[in-house]
Amino acid sequence: MIRPDAPVLLEIRDLTARVEDQPILKGVSLTIRAGEIHAVMGRNGSGKSTLSKVLAGHPAYTVTGGSVHYRGEDLLGLEPELRARAGLFLGFQYPVEIPGVSNLEFLRVATNARRAGKGEEELDTFAFEDLVRERLLVVQMDPAFLERSVNEGFSGGEKKRNEILQMALLEPLVAVLDETDSGLDIDALRIVAGGVNHLAGPDNATLLITHYQRLLDVITPDYVHVMAAGRILRTGGKELALELEERGYDWVDAELAALERTPAEVG
Amino acid sequence: MASSATVGDLVSQPYKYGFVTDIETEKIAKGLSEDVVRLISAKKNEPPFLLDFRLRSFRQWLQMEEPDWATLGHPPIDYQEIIYYAAPKQQEKKASLDEVDPKLLETFEKLGIPLSEQKRLSNVAVDAVFDSVSIATTYREKLAEHGVIFCSISEAVKDHADLIEKYLGTVVPGNDNYFAALNSAVFSDGSFVFIPKGVACPMELSTYFRINSGDTGQFERTLIVAEEGASVSYLEGCTAPMFDTNQLHAAVVELVALDDASIKYSTVQNWYAGDENGKGGIYNFVTKRGQCRGDRSYISWTQVETGSAITWKYPSCVLQGADSVGEFYSVALTNNRQQADTGTKMIHVGPRTRSTIVSKGISAGHSSNSYRGLVQLGPKAVGARNYSQCDSMLIGDQAAANTYPYIRSQQPDASIEHEASTCRISADQLFYLQSRGIAFEEAVSMMVSGFCRDVFNQLPMEFAAEADKLLALKLEGSVG
């Protein structure tokens, strides 16, 4: 839902970043307002996953320039846990397994950390159980998953559902979902997308990072951005995604090549 | 910013029990000889059978060589440079706590072990051992009402000589191994527990060992006997000051369980581990063994080993009685230059005996952490079963973890299972937890306690939280 007067939640300006000595992001700018759903599309290696990791504060990525403001405040100076407590959420493409740490306990500690960030009081074990059982419905997850270790032995689809469950509990203001559709069969995709749609509201925003149109068939974006070689090449409405689907990414290459011939025109 | 390198820094929490109590001590001259053994025995007014035991052990020790098969390295120990007896100066063991030197009470209070009547733990009886001597034992009268004897081994030698003569050295003989022989010759004090037939000990028993002197060896001897149908849960804790020299600690623990008896023995070992360059710290060479002498008897060892420069320790069970059960649950954490070679021996003698081994090793810094375990099934152990699980967790990339399982079976009708795994706390796991609002240190702590949960669940309730806190302490610190 686009409302020009809605508050800006995330403001990315000329962001550049590298992994080890390899520059990946080469000047990304993006403004996200409350209520909006954005999709970033692009080929493998275009930098779209890096963008999500940089936003969440992954230690392997070094920001070399530009700025990111979250609700008007500098985001990049914050430790990852403080970004999460402030309401930024990253849904992982490959959620890691953490043997020995109970999923329920993990969800409770995370939820309480986020609540502390909002100035709300901690939930005790019982209150949390009530909450988690209610939120399980959003992703149609079996309560048995709560008793297992975090993501341990979960199938690809179960891991993604667990991500959306976390999102449902943490109630983020900006959710960055990195390739949430990858590895999902059509039923799981529908459940996950249903969860995301359910959680999207006028006060929060969603940034979908995806490869394919099929996720955007079930979650309708307000904006589509095409990313290539660490830059956003083009921004449009949902029809841009359909165009990509139809024409493939080859025209992106042509446009990129043109861009690199005339670097002065960038921006 | 978080990275796997900083996980290593995390483990370097300053040792908070490193203080020395300034107290007048009676020590004998350093060095070891037959005269020294006689002197120790004389100082304690021991009956002849005990002096004989000491002398026999000493003579055998002289013939023995220090073992060198463990994955441990240290400069040679000069046994003539050690003082074999040190005691805080106070004449007799005091009848009442009011007469104990307040400095000693203060020391234990600082260690979190209040002994005075107002402050002591309400459901745990404590024997407090300072250097070589037991200074106080709480709740003795209450235990005596149930026929339970809980006192220092020196007192037991005086008051219950028959029991000592009957059981001492029957599980770990005087010539069992080099360090056990040394202990048998010069042991100073320790705890004695006797649970008579049919009695379930009404409270947790606990001994707290405190090393104070810098040049004194520590040789405690603990003996626990549970008669038919009796049961007891016992916990020992240990700390020592920070010295830049090494102190030798060679203890012996013997457990005897008769028919249907059960003994649960837990250890939280937090001796001083030395500094980050490996200077100082305790050399911990300990022999612990339990004998399930009776049918359907049960002995369980749980250990949380976080201290010592060197740990050489294999709490074992001899499963003699039919249907007897032995268990070993261990968490060993090493950091900096610490070395641990620890594990267990499960000796299945009787039919249908069962044993479980769960070992969790955590290595950080430049430390080395080895599990060494023997599962032996004799010809009469028909239908015996063993399950072993050995997991290692590596923190950083300079630490070493080894697993040495030995299995010897002379019994075709038996089942033996062994599982082993190695994992590393990865930067991606930490980032995942952080990205959910969980601080770096808490994330490490969650993963480590998750890794150890199977073992912590075995600790007495009062101490499970303590153990969790202790590991968290060792893992918290410098990340700001």
Q: What whole-number distance in Å separates Cα of residue B121 and Cα of residue B113? A: 8
Alpha-carbon separation of residue B396 from A20, A148, A152 (angstroms): 19, 27, 23
Residue whose structure tokens are 């203001």 = A173
| Cα–Cα dist B20/B288, whole Å | 28
Q: Per-residue pLDDT tens for B207-227?
A: 887 777 777 778 889 999 999
- Give the domain CATH number at A197: 3.40.50.300
Q: How far is B425 from chain A (nearest CA, A)?
A: 9
pTM: predicted TM-score of the whole model, two decimal places: 0.79
Can you read off the two tokens belonging to residue B448? 């480590």
A165 lies in a domain? no
**A3 inside domain:** no
pLDDT per residue over B295-338, tens digit each? 999 999 998 888 888 899 999 999 999 999 999 999 888 888 88
pLDDT at B462: 62
Tell me which DSSP letter residue B216 carries: B
Find the radius of gyration of the CA atoms of chain A. 18
Helix/strand/coil percentages in chain A, nearest 5: 40, 30, 30
**In contact, B309 and B335? CB cutoff 8 Å:** no
In one-letter notation, the amino acid at residue B80 is: Q
B429, B434, B447 member nearest A81 (Cβ):
B434
In chain B, which residues have their Cβ closer than 8 Å to the Cβ of A83? 435
The answer on pLDDT for B128 being more than 90 is no
B428 by DSSP, 3-state: which? helix
In angstroms, what separates the C-alpha of A92 from chain B's closest C-alpha? 8
Task: Please indicate whether, in this complex, the C-beta atoms of B431 and A59 are within 8 angstroms of each other.
Answer: yes
DSSP H helices in B44-193: 48-63, 102-110, 140-145, 153-159, 161-167, 178-186
Q: Quick check: is A32 in a domain?
A: yes
Condensed to tens digits (0 to 9), the pLDDT of residues B417-476 reads: 999 988 888 889 999 999 999 998 888 888 888 888 888 888 776 666 666 666 666 654
Residue A132 lies in a domain: no
A 10 A CB-CB count for B123 gives: 11
Set of chain B residues whose Cβ sits within 8 Å of the Cβ of A98: 429, 432-433, 447, 450
Nearest of B119, B71, B25 to residue B367 by alpha carbon: B71
For B427, counting Cβ atoms within 10 Å of its Cβ (0-12 exposed, 13-18 middle, 19+ buried), the class is middle
Cross-strand partners of B192: B151, B223
On whether residue A98 sits in a domain, the answer given is: no
Q: Which residues pair with A232 in a beta bridge?
A: A227
- The reply to whether A44 falls in a domain is yes
CB contact under 8 A, A117 and B1: no
Which of B426, B431, B455 best probes binding to A when mutated, by most A CB atoms within 10 angstroms? B431
CA distance A34 to A200: 10
Instruction: Please give the residue of chain B at the shortest CA–CA distance from A55.
Output: B435
pLDDT at B9: 46
**One-character DSSP codes across A87-100:** TEEEE-SSPPPEEE
Q: Do A95 and B440 touch (CB under 8 A)?
A: no
| ipTM value | 0.94
Whether A145 is in a domain gets the answer: no
User: To the nearest whole angstrom, how far is the Cα of A89 from the nearest Cα of chain B?
Assistant: 7
Residue contact A84–B453, C-beta within 8 A: no
Say which residue the tokens 């992954």 belong to.
A58
Residue range A46-99, pLDDT digits in tens: 999 999 999 999 999 999 999 999 999 999 999 999 999 999 999 999 999 998
To 5 degrees, how large is the angle CA A8–CA B2–CA B272? Answer: 145
Among chain A residues, CA nearest to B437:
A81
- CB–CB contact B437 A170 (8 Å): yes
Structure token digits, residue A83: 């970004």
Angle B212-B169-B236 (CA atoms, 0-180°, nearest 5)?
Answer: 40
Minimal C-alpha gap between A100 and chain B (Å) = 4
Q: Do A109 and B453 touch (CB under 8 A)?
A: no
- In percent, the amount of chain A with pLDDT more than 90 equals 77
Q: How many CB pairs under 8 A join A and B?
A: 82
Q: Which residues of A touch B423 (CB under 8 A)?
A: 99
Pick the residue from chain A with its C-alpha nearest to B448.
A100
pLDDT, one tens digit per residue, over A180-195 is: 888 888 888 998 899 9
Give me the domain span that covers residue A70: 8-93+172-265
Query: With contact defined as beta carbons under 8 Å apart, do B133 and B189 qualify?
Result: yes
Q: A101 and B432 in contact by Cβ < 8 A?
A: no
Answer whether B453 sits within 8 Å of A81, measured CB to CB.
Answer: no
d(CA B310, CA B273): 8
Would you say residue A104 lies in a domain? no
Average pLDDT, chain B: 85
Q: From CA B447, how far away is CA A186, in angstroms rounded?
A: 34
Task: Tell which of A54, A101, A173, A176 to mutate to test the B interface (max B CBs under 10 Å).
Answer: A101
Count of the separate structural domains present in chain A: 1
- The tokens for A71 are 């609700």
